Amino acid sequence: MGTPPCLTGVEEKSHYTLAADEKLGVLLLNTGGPETLNDVQPFLYNLFSDPDVIRLPRLFKFLQRPLAKLVSVFLALRTKERYAAIGGGSPLRRLTDEQADALRMALEDKNVHADVYVGMRYWYPFIEQAVQQIKRDGITKLVVLPLFPQFSISTTGSSIGVFRYIFRQDAYLSRLPVSVILSWYQRHGYIKSMADLIETELGKFGKPEEVMVLFSAHGVPISYVEDAGDPYKDQMEECIYLITQELKARGIGNDHTLAYQSRVGPLQWLKPYTTEVLVELGRKGVKSVLAVPISFVSEHIETLEEIDMGYKDLALGSGIENWGRVPALGCTSSFIRDLADAVVEALPFAKALESDCA
């Protein structure tokens, strides 16, 4: 059967048939986002209360919640302005629900009947709520699919941590066969879908071959990678290699570069920062840039506000004349079909969490 998905992501094709008495569930994990401006501060509080987001030494763990309160209040005003600029809240819940629906239908097309649930780490519907629904519905086999292509301690790691904690508390859930897909950035369907989007957006420039393709990944503090062993940076670089190879195979050999966005706080984050790269590209005389958000599969504040408003203005003010941005994959059908394949391929590996490769 090969290596379990919890170690590699899932590559091989399998032909799994659900038994008649099996009830399959798929749990999509995401961060969630504030739906109104009043939600912003409590959302930020939940986010900064996460020990995988503000990583304190063991001795200082007691400061986690006071610190979360302080930082959330401090950031709330500016963050509210940013959510106000994209319509007064995050579209993430709606977009993730749409992806869940699309995935359910794509599975149906493969004759796999599944209920698809959405569990958010920091806002409604919380992972806890989704799991209670899974229990109520009598699901007998579950695939957990975080909507982050690359694994980071701060995203997939944190969400899976909560998920495992809830499951291990409950006699029924701890016996439920579960397959957790930890990352899927190397899946051919995803890589091809990203290349399709890039090819389409390049075609909108006057001289497509002269466009600099700027992959903008969400940053994490450098200590995550260097001290805590977060595979995020390596996976990001491999992902971009695979996308650019796919583009080359199509005869698209544009210059490209990778930079990291969305830094918060005083720590050093992965470099180079997207802001600095944009200024540098302008200084070097690059005239056309296509920004490719690479850590996200749905539109949210960091695409709609940070890239479309902040980085675009910075680029145009730095001498870059032509600006484009690749949309998030959202419900792109080739992408959703690939997620459906990933779910089916993960099924044979489902086992009770107690015996999982945690």
Ligand X SMILES: C=CC1=C(C)c2cc3[nH]c(cc4nc(cc5[nH]c(cc1n2)c(C)c5CCC(=O)O)C(CCC(=O)O)=C4C)c(C)c3C=C
Binding stretches for Fe ion (CB under 5 A): 262
**Minimum CB–partner distance for residue 209 and ligand X (Å):** 30
**Minimum CB–partner distance for residue 276 and ligand X (Å):** 18
158 binds, among Fe ion, ligand X, none (CB under 5 to 8 A by kind): none
Which is nearer to ligand X, 50 or 246 (by Cβ)? Answer: 50
Of residues 9, 25, 33, 157, which one binds ligand X by CB under 6 A?
33
| Beta strands per DSSP E along the chain | 24-30, 114-120, 141-146, 177-180, 212-218, 256-261, 288-293, 322-325, 351-352
Residues contacting 47, CB < 8 A, separation 6+? 31, 53, 68, 72, 122
Residues 59-88 that bind ligand X (CB under 6 A): 79
> Which of the ranges 124-132, 213-221, 240-248, 342-350 carries the binding residues for ligand X, by CB under 6 A?
213-221
CB 340 within 8 A of CB 181: no
Residues contacting 171, CB < 8 A, separation 6+? none
**Nearest by Cα to 260 from 297, 215, 299, 230:** 215
Strand-pairing partners, residue 323, are 289
53 binds, among ligand X, Fe ion, none (CB under 5 to 8 A by kind): ligand X
Which is nearer to Fe ion, 174 or 262 (by Cβ)? Answer: 262
Letters for 96-135 (x = contact with ligand X by CB under 6 A, - = none) are ----------------------------------------
Letters for 43-62 (x = contact with ligand X by CB under 6 A, - = none) are ----x-----x---------
Q: Is 295 in the site for ligand X (CB under 6 A)?
A: yes
Distance CA 69, CA 36 (A): 19
Distance CA 1, CA 345 (A): 10
Q: Is 148 in the site for ligand X (CB under 6 A)?
A: yes
Size of the site for ligand X (CB under 6 A): 20
Question: 128 phi and psi, to 5 degrees?
Answer: -55, -45
Of residues 31, 99, 183, 216, which one binds ligand X by CB under 6 A?
31
Q: Is 302 in the site for ligand X (CB under 6 A)?
A: yes
Considering only CA atoms, give the Rg of the chain.
20
Q: What does DSSP say about strands 288-293 and 212-218: parallel, antiparallel, or unpaired? A: parallel
Residues lying near ligand X in the complex (CB under 6 A) are found at 31, 33, 47, 53, 79, 90, 92, 148, 152, 154-155, 218, 220-221, 262, 264, 295, 300-302
